Structure 1
């Protein structure tokens, strides 16, 4: 048992008494607190999942689907869109902001590039794209419209005016992708 000493007013005695009264048995080695990582909100998780799906999923065009196009210049307007869009494309009211050249590509490569172009146009909020299919043997020229009508983001397309490639190109209007910042 410890006994109390009477302080005679000396600071050294007070310090000694304090040290005796407060004996530290264990030193504190780690004095920082690690916080648990913040939990993501449901909206953040959904946005991340959607982004992963967009990056990994690729739109698959059917190679067997054959759309019916009216006689005359190649044109198409998706359901629910103004039929006036085809006329605007024909007159050159829309200038392409993005161009895709399919010359020399196989059909599989062309389909893959087409999906990538549509996705890039959606992310960058680009309305109009030009796709150069060329003349060649006419394989891409024949198949490209059938692929385009299958994609839900294609609003309309028309054979390009002469300044954008004429009958060797197609102008396409793309529907923008809605994301969390657009919706709210």
Structure 2
């Protein structure tokens, strides 16, 4: 049976710790990652889909197929200037600010989601996003890199490290408004 402390015990305990000060935490807190919310109802899904079609005015072509080397990590950089950003991406210097999981989507829905998340990242000035397409040799794993190459806001991408999906995901660098080149 527990004894409850009496007032003398509490006073002596408090007097022992009267000079103690709270220590500020020295632990590193990683930046918050904004994960896209799941849509539950069919009506909400249709409304969201129509708004995404409107927001993502860019459409990907299925006729274009980019060529990537077979036994290397999936990687792309738009130009010579962006190679350094892709190298930094490969080294893990970027943390994705948005995550898009394409599991369970068909090709058409995946294209709409991809265009919408790229547009959202551009509008909100997010420089890095994580696209999870899955590890199987399915349609999305083959098509997502070709779609990303087509989009003008995509500066480059690289296969994600294991903590962000490994062979089943890509980390993508998105052009921010300050990256835009004047005419």
Q: Distance between the aligned counterparts of 1:149 and 1:107, measured in 2?
A: 16
* Residue 143 of structure 1, CA deviation: 0.3
1:2-13 matched pairs, under 5 angstroms: none
Question: What stretches of structure 1 of length at least 5 have no aligned partner?
Answer: 1-53
SS at 1:129's partner residue? Answer: strand
Q: Contact 1:81 / 1:155 at 8 angstroms: preserved in 2?
A: no
In the alignment, what sits opposite 1:116?
A: 116
Runs of 4+ in 1 over 2 A off after TM superposition: 54-57, 79-82
- The TM-score, its normalising length taken from structure 2, stands at 0.64
* Residue 171 of structure 1, CA deviation: 0.1
In the alignment, what sits opposite 1:63?
A: 62
Q: Contact 1:122 / 1:176 at 8 angstroms: preserved in 2?
A: yes
Q: Contact 1:75 / 1:157 at 8 angstroms: preserved in 2?
A: yes
* Residue 82 of structure 1, CA deviation: 2.9
Question: What stretches of structure 2 of length at least 5 have no aligned partner?
Answer: 1-52
Q: Distance between the aligned counterparts of 2:93 and 2:62, measured in 1?
A: 31
Count matched residues.
126
In the alignment, what sits opposite 1:9?
A: none
SS at 2:150's partner residue? Answer: coil
1:31-180 matched pairs, under 5 angstroms: 55=54, 58-71=57-70, 72-177=72-177
- The TM-score, its normalising length taken from structure 1, stands at 0.64
Q: Contact 2:55 / 2:116 at 8 angstroms: preserved in 1?
A: no
| Coordinate RMSD, CA, aligned | 2.0
Describe the shift of the 1:161–1:59 C-alpha distance in structure 2 as closer, same or farther (beyond 3 A).
Answer: same
In the alignment, what sits opposite 1:36?
A: none
* Residue 60 of structure 1, CA deviation: 1.0
List per-residue Cα deviations over 1:34-84 (Å, max 9, x = no partner).
Answer: xxxxxxxxxxxxxxxxxxxx9466211110101122341000000253312
Task: Look at both structures and tell me which one has the larger radius of gyration over its CA atoms.
Answer: 1
* Residue 121 of structure 1, CA deviation: 0.3
List per-residue Cα deviations over 1:103-137 (Å, max 9, x = no partner).
Answer: 00000000000010011001110000000001245
In the alignment, what sits opposite 2:25?
A: none
